[in-house]
Amino acid sequence: MTSPEDASPVKPPPSFSGAPIVVPKSTYSADTIQSPRTFSSEPRDSPSIAASTAQLPYRNESPSRSASPSSRLSSSVSLPNRASIGSPLGSLPDGGDNIRSLIIRSFAPPIAIFASDDTEDLVRQKGFNGGFRELLRPFGENIAGKVVVRDSVGSSRAWEDYSVHFVDLYSHKNQQIDATSPPTSPLVLLEEVLQRRLDSFDDSTHRWSHFNQTPMTNTPLSSPFYQLLLRRLLSVDSPTPHETFSHPVACVITISSRNKTPLESLRQLYAQTTQGNKAPLPYVHAEFLRYYVLVHDEDRDDIAESTKLYDQMKRHFGLHCHLLRLRSNQCVVTDDDSMEVPLCEWLSPEEELSKINETSALIDLGTEAAYLFESDVTAIKTLVRELVVQSVIPFMENKVALWNDQVASRRRGLSGRFMSMSRRWAGFGSGSKSNSSGSAGSMTGNYDAMQGFYKPEVPEAILRKLGDFAFMLRDYKLAASTYDLVRSDYSNDKAWKYHAGAHEMCALSMLLNPLSSTAKNKLEGIDQMIDTACYSYLTRCSDAVNTLRCLTLSVELLKSRGGSATEGAARWAMRVMELGLTGPIGQALFTERVSACYASKTSTGGARWGSRRRKAAMWSILASDSWLKLGKPAFASVCLEDADRLYAEVLEKDGIFSMPDMREFIDNLKHAVKVEYLESKGVDTSDETVVAKQLGTEETSEKLDKRSNRRSLIVTSAQLENGPLNPLKHQGDGPKSLDDDFE
């Protein structure tokens, strides 16, 4: 249970009634991110429409109600739509709005790579300067074939999209030692990644493959740049004791056939992973799997000798061994059996920026892609699959069964409940450390407040690792029950980051469990856990990165639930903007996401009661204004296209009311976007005749003179209630639209 001080209520979305809503240009810096605001009763500036409709050039007539959205928006200037915007992910776009699958794949078992110097030299000779990890990394993100995973009750399920993350062994430790200045906030780097990708889109759209879209549906698909934001956020690679998703599940120890003393080298590498310079950090559990790989050089070494050495390795180190046969020669695109190496999907913001800087010149030369021989690709895929299916998955399943039986089951049993209550209320069963403190009755005594972590062998750390292992094995029922079991211990010990993480992952596990209930009372409990997690992350730990991750994943998983959960998703997306966790580009993307949440709200009954199309259209207009402020008319056009379609659906629902004011408002917004688009293409818009010719319309001098204020739309609350954004209300004494009763 959550203590009263943790149970802060879920804040409502920013109000759209009262004084005029004006959104100043977003201020964004490292200071605002590293010192985030705490939750308070006073809402911060929230994104909204920021300018007066009177400042926009109005047309003299509105299109008829019967005109289709596409015909109403046609003109001489062709602006991009969502289907034509290139994906910054290159060849890694989602075919649809399948964000749920993306989230599931992001929490993959981390496997560390520790290779000998001779192995690294061989791989660099092949053209991979990052070494053996760079060679394996892309193939771990998409394991060939089905991967069967067994859950805690013994039932098996085959996954076709299972993956692992290959990481450097304890690179964080070296970074902490070598660091001479505080690192830049990952959120600042994330905003810079978005800015660089947006600039690249403006400069040369042909560099990116087109974003694959499903046919137009009633629900807007997620922007490819939003997916980029989500991937980079989920790839933030920062060391943390409170969760074990970045702690290695296994370590691949590698030597090559060039090694003069192979068995001795393997022993030395193993020793370094236990007590040498690669030893685990104090909060990392040292009992992870060791997997031994011998890389044979097909071009220069004798396979018979390598086979003998491989047999010796199996006798000395067991069955967790593999012989990898690679060619040491570098492959180029002109080779007959060359294959392009897949792109890495999960790059941290820092890695993404480094990649952009390194490949900017290579792209112009057309040499940015890496290639491998077909035999090398086959051998690497075989290695990765055997490593995961035959070693890593069984190792994790055995650990889950062991910890669940020895630790979690005792906590869930009657004796475990009694000991927990006795520690909390009477002080029985507490450690000597807790007994010596003033509030010892409610503490386990295992939390080291000075260093900020539990030692890896104590029950609280093992339970967290059990929950994380179950989550990575996609056993969300066991994960949710384990996180729920340990939440109170973290609260009693005042281990606030552990406390926040347990609430976050318990909520996410419940949302990912397909069998969990979607009843309103269940969703309220999930909302309370999300709110508690954000409060502890942000207010108690000043951790903006995990706050943003918690809120973003909650938005997407609630949205995927459908029904009333979509409105909760919209509220949490508004919370992201209210707290200022992202920069201007992130604000625009989350504004789009609020619209998508409302648009995905399904109606009930033949009258379509309960839909939120008009709200979705309004937020699309807000997003369009945000993109205009950023000087991105192409993206503003996409949002206007969505808004126009959504308003058209409201119009066609009953066929009673036309929407001349709204139609006029959107037409003038579109005109402002087109003029901005012409400027971005170098057209001199000071010449009214040229502008009118380019737009294919007759524009008066008065209209063209007003475009100086087109980037800021001011709409008062009265206009939002009764004016052009909600023209269905108060039209004479006639009946109201059904949406008025449910929005």
What average pLDDT does the segment 155-167 reach? 93
What average pLDDT does the segment 556-567 reach? 90
pLDDT of residue 634: 85
pLDDT of residue 487: 93
Residue 265 and residue 255 in contact, taking contact as beta carbons nearer than 8 Å = yes
Mind listing the pLDDT tens digit for each residue in 279-293? 888 999 888 999 999
pLDDT of residue 533: 97
* C-alpha count within 13 angstroms, C-beta hemisphere, residue 340: 7
Long-range contacts made by residues 180-188, C-beta under 8 angstroms, separation at least 24? 184/30, 185/30, 185/33, 185/34, 185/544, 185/545, 186/236, 186/238, 186/348, 186/349, 186/350, 186/545, 187/33, 187/544, 187/545, 187/548, 187/581, 187/582, 187/583, 188/29, 188/30, 188/33, 188/583
Residue 131 and residue 75 in contact, taking contact as beta carbons nearer than 8 Å = no
- pLDDT surpasses 50 at 421: no
Residue 422 and residue 428 in contact, taking contact as beta carbons nearer than 8 Å = yes
**Quick one: residue 30, left, alpha or beta (phi over 0 = left, psi -120 to 50 = alpha)?**
alpha
Listed by start position, the domains of the chain span 108-204+244-398, 413-443
pLDDT of residue 362: 58
Q: Got the DSSP string for 328-378?
A: -SPP-TTSTTEEEPPPPS---HHHHHHHHHHHHHHHHHT----EEEHHHHH
> Burial letters for 487-500: b for 16+ Cβ neighbours within 10 Å, e otherwise?
bbbbbbbebbbbbb
Residue 279 and residue 272 in contact, taking contact as beta carbons nearer than 8 Å = yes
pLDDT of residue 443: 62
**Quick one: residue 466, left, alpha or beta (phi over 0 = left, psi -120 to 50 = alpha)?**
alpha
Amino acid identity, residue 589? L
Mind listing the pLDDT tens digit for each residue in 50-88? 333 233 332 333 333 334 333 333 344 555 555 555 555
- The least confident of 295-299, 376-380, 415-419, 433-437 is 433-437
pLDDT of residue 690: 65
Mind listing the pLDDT tens digit for each residue in 593-648? 999 999 988 766 555 566 888 899 899 999 998 998 898 888 888 888 888 888 87
Residue 365 banded pLDDT, cuts 50, 70, 90: low
Of residues 3 and 390, more confidently modeled:
390
Could you tell me which residues are beta bridge partners of residue 373?
Answer: 338
The per-type count for the chain, helices as H runs and strands as E runs, is 30, 11
Mind listing the pLDDT tens digit for each residue in 94-145? 433 588 999 999 999 999 999 999 999 999 999 999 999 999 999 999 898 8
Quick one: CA dihedral 539, 510, 103, 136, positive or negative? positive
CA distance 469 to 416: 22
Average confidence score pLDDT of the chain: 75
pLDDT of residue 24: 35
CA distance 618 to 307: 67
Residue 27 banded pLDDT, cuts 50, 70, 90: very low
CA distance 610 to 593: 19
Residue 557 and residue 512 in contact, taking contact as beta carbons nearer than 8 Å = yes
Mind listing the pLDDT tens digit for each residue in 495-534? 999 999 999 999 999 999 987 766 777 888 999 999 999 9
What average pLDDT does the segment 471-494 reach? 94
What is the percent of the chain where pLDDT is above 90? 47
pLDDT of residue 149: 95
pLDDT of residue 94: 41
pLDDT of residue 428: 40
CA distance 269 to 169: 12
CA distance 353 to 342: 19
Q: Which residues contact 717 (CB under 8 A, 6 or more apart)?
A: 16, 17, 18, 19, 20, 21
pLDDT of residue 669: 75
* Torsion angles phi and psi, residue 638, rounded to 5: -60, -45
Residue 713 and residue 625 in contact, taking contact as beta carbons nearer than 8 Å = yes
pLDDT of residue 662: 67
Of residues 464 and 410, more confidently modeled:
464
SS3 percent helix, strand, coil of the chain, rounded to 5, is 50, 10, 40
pLDDT of residue 82: 56
- pLDDT surpasses 90 at 431: no
pLDDT of residue 361: 62
pLDDT of residue 39: 36
Strands 371-373 and 289-297: unpaired
Tokens for 697, please give them: 């319309």
Mind listing the pLDDT tens digit for each residue in 179-226? 556 778 899 999 999 999 988 875 434 333 333 333 344 556 677 899
Residue 4 and residue 535 in contact, taking contact as beta carbons nearer than 8 Å = no
Of residues 93 and 145, more confidently modeled:
145
Neighbour tally for 244: CB within 10 Å: 23
pLDDT of residue 427: 43
Cα 94 to chain centroid distance, Å, stands at: 13
- pLDDT surpasses 90 at 325: yes
Q: CA 115, 121, 126 angle in degrees (round to 5)?
A: 110
Mind listing the pLDDT tens digit for each residue in 664-713? 777 777 777 877 777 777 777 666 666 666 666 544 444 444 444 443 33
Amino acid identity, residue 248? P
pLDDT of residue 163: 94
Mind listing the pLDDT tens digit for each residue in 244-278? 999 999 999 999 999 999 999 999 999 999 887 88
CA distance 675 to 180: 48
Tokens for 514, please give them: 């397909």
pLDDT of residue 180: 56
**Which parts of 146-302 fold into alpha helices (H)?**
171-178, 186-203, 224-234, 262-274
- pLDDT surpasses 90 at 346: yes
Residue 696 and residue 76 in contact, taking contact as beta carbons nearer than 8 Å = yes
